Structure 1
Amino acid sequence: MAVEIRFTAASVAKVRFAVSPLGETVLALRILLGTGGHTVHRPWVRQARPLLAGERELPLLRALIAGSLPSFLFPTPTQRLPSMAAELDLVRATQEDFFRQEYGAVLGIPAEDAPEPATVLPRLAEALRRCHESLIAPQWGRMCAVLEADIGRRALTLVEGGVQALFAELHRDIAWDDGQLVVHGRRTPHSVHTVDTGGHGLVLQPSVFNWPDVGVDKAPVTAASIRYPATGVGLLWESPPPALTGLAPVLGHTRTQILAALTEPLTTAALATRLSITPSAVSQHLGALRGAGLVSTQRKGRTALHLLTDRATHLLGTPPPRSPSSDTVT
């Protein structure tokens, strides 16, 4: 099914980015409750699936998440990076009519036969909280660094080239045509569903667990939203190259971690999040690595991206990351 998202002039000006910990938790559960998702996630699936086995609300999660996903599990983020608790509050506050409609559509029953929200939503929210803490939170620093780095790159494209340039590079299934955004479906390509932003705008959400596909909220309550695959996910679950183990005693643990993270260009803030250290500490280590000829820094506007040099990739035996065109800072 293709989805057409219609814009007004006002809603084009309201295109923004956000990261949803709740959305990532739900999408991760869909993988664990299904066939395992894309092969890129297999290292994580092997570790996470045993942790889910003891969840007492597993039947409820399976009923609502294993197949089609209800829209009330994906409230549009009101902030760029909301907390899991804030998003779960939105789930608990789902309007009764909307809950019944979505619940009935997922389970294939009439909306009037759906249970009262008060009997389902509190249990569901608590189950999602537990799943986030056990399955997602231990990896959230790494995931968030990938998502934030993606937003940084997309935001630069939006500023420099406008929405047309942004959508042109977002995903092969997304096309922008004079005020209308089309997300092409593959299963039923001749079917079309229309979403009107109603002046609320569009929230673009990079995703780890929706990778490599695009997801569209077909029944938005406020702003429309699209989940698109974040760049860098393919390397998220990979173990560090063997050469890094030997470098740690020479360079130190933190500098070795920085080299491992820079298999994709990252900002100082993204590195600090991924390594759980302060941006100033990252800057000091980057200075030493630049001095050794292992890291270069490229500026594009106000944003600085750090990446491995040819010397570093040769030393590590890894392919060089794709770097944006910009001025190199040595």
Structure 2
Amino acid sequence: MIELRLDVEDLADTRFVISPLAEAALSLRVWLLPHYYVLQLPWLRSAAAALGDLDIRLLLALVGAHRAVPDFLTARPDDPLPDFAAELDRVRRVPPGKIAADVRAALQGRPVPAVLTGELDRPARLRDRLADLLAAYWDAVLAPHWPRMRGVLEADLLYRAQRLARGGARLLFADLHPTIRWRAGMLRLDLSYPHTELRIPITGRGLVLMPAVFLRTPGLPLNMNEPPLVSYPARGIATVWETAPPTRPGVLTDLIGRPKATLLACLDGPASTTDLARRLGVTPGAVSQHLAVLRDAGLVTRSRAGRSVLYARTALGDRLLRPQTPAPAPDAPSARPLHP
């Protein structure tokens, strides 16, 4: 059990970030434990084909015991929505001593993999090699998927913002993850690693929450002196690599037409025009036209989240998609004796 104690100021300073660098680092675990990351298997299959002859053994060696990765690769960003190049520049400025310390902390006492042998004695060189390799890795297997990944992450941020506005911290943390609970100013995480029993005062440092695609369970920095950060699995991870549109609703298709009915069915969670166009195999312009009609009809809403404009179904749209159960036929009137 890990407990993060937040005072009023810490709670007021709680915010969200997205980190493409952290996604790259966390994705390394999928190569080593594909049976554990089943939702990410479609990505792994495409990544294996796209990797070509790029040797990522040095990157995979960074994954330590309990799926840990070095803190310098998952540190909270300065910008809430940074791009990968900016985060990689920050990695190139990490002090060499921290590189070696973070890698050893991630290994957690396991033997140093052969590919890392000797590298930890030259941490500045290791840092530069890792940065170059991460850049090539990103371009090969993650950059093509990033617009859609970012759409899912930004949709999660929009959802969390709505929860916070409607019910404060209690509602925000209520469905962040089953292992996370909020009570009496304390955020409790039922995690067995990286630490077993800890109480951590946030005390003016502010808490940052980071949704991620390549996660199954929440995570914390290995070093508790790092700025407080809780990563958690984003909503809708399974849809990131989904290509087939949902089943088209029958009656609704007759009412508003097949394209609009299919589009409305796709909006199980907030999504951008680009994401919807990819899923449906149509142009963004066509999607925009249909969304404008659905919005005018009160079936979808439009909100900005970071760099994206996200659309979501309204309650009326949900009701239209809900299967309708035919009302039972009224009982036949029972025969009554006639009285004079």
Q: Tell whether the structures are fold-level matches, with TM greater than 0.5.
A: yes
Separation in 2, partners of 1:224, 1:115? 29
Matches within 5 A, 1:157-196: 157-186=163-192, 191-196=196-201
Identify which of 53, 61, 64 aligns with 2:62.
64
1:274 deviates by 5.6
- Give the letter aligned to residue 223 of structure 2: A
Equivalent pairs counted in the alignment come to 297
- Is 2:225 the counterpart of 1:226? no
For 2:262 and 2:96, the matched residues in 1 are separated by 48
Letter of the structure 2 residue corresponding to residue 124 of structure 1: L
Cα distance, 1:290 vs structure 2: 6.2
Task: Quote the residue 1:130 is aligned against.
Answer: 136
Q: Does 1:306 align with 2:306?
A: no
| d(CA) in 1 for partners of 2:63, 2:129 | 14
The TM-score, its normalising length taken from structure 1, stands at: 0.76
1:19 Cα deviation (Å)?
Answer: 0.9
Structure 1 residues 274 and 60, CA, compared in 2 at 3 Å: closer, same or farther? farther
After superposition, where does 1:31-70 map in structure 2 within 5 Å? 31-52=30-51, 54-56=53-55, 58-65=56-63, 67-70=67-70
Q: 1:76 to 1:286 in 2, by over 3 A?
A: same
Q: d(CA) in 2 for partners of 1:239 and 1:304?
A: 18
Partner of 1:203: 208
Aligned counterpart, 1:327: none
Deviation at 1:171, TM superposition (A): 1.1
1:103 is matched with 103
Mapped partners of 1:220, 1:70: distance in 2:
13
Pairing 1:76-91 to 2, within 5 Å after superposition: 76-91=76-91
Instruction: For structure 1, list consecutive stretches of 5 or more residues without a partner in the other structure.
Output: 315-330
Maintained 8 Å contact 1:261/1:271: no
Task: Please name the residue that 1:296 is paired with.
Answer: 299
Q: CA deviation at 1:47?
A: 1.4
Deviates most, 69-78 or 4-13: 4-13
The code of the aligned residue for 1:88 comes to: L
Distance 2:318 2:295 in 1: 9
- State the match for 1:328 in structure 2: none
Larger-Rg structure: 2
Q: Does 1:213 align with 2:212?
A: no
CA separation of 1:313/1:124 partners in 2, compared to 1, >3 Å: closer, same or farther? farther
2:122 counterpart letter in structure 1: E
Structure 2 counterpart SS, 1:170: coil
Q: Does 1:265 align with 2:273?
A: no
Q: Secondary structure at the match of 1:215?
A: coil
TM, length-normalised to structure 2 = 0.74
**In the superposition, relative to structure 1, how do residues 150 and 59 fare at CA in structure 2: closer, same or farther (>3 Å)?**
same
Distance 1:200 1:115, change over 3 A: same
CA distance in 1, matches of 2:104, 2:145: 33
Spell out, residue by residue over 1:212-260, the C-alpha distance to the aligned partner (whole angstroms, 9 max, x if none).
311112325653111111111123323314867xx9xx967xx698457
Question: Partners of 1:78 and 1:3 in 2: how far apart?
Answer: 25
Identity of aligned residues (%): 33
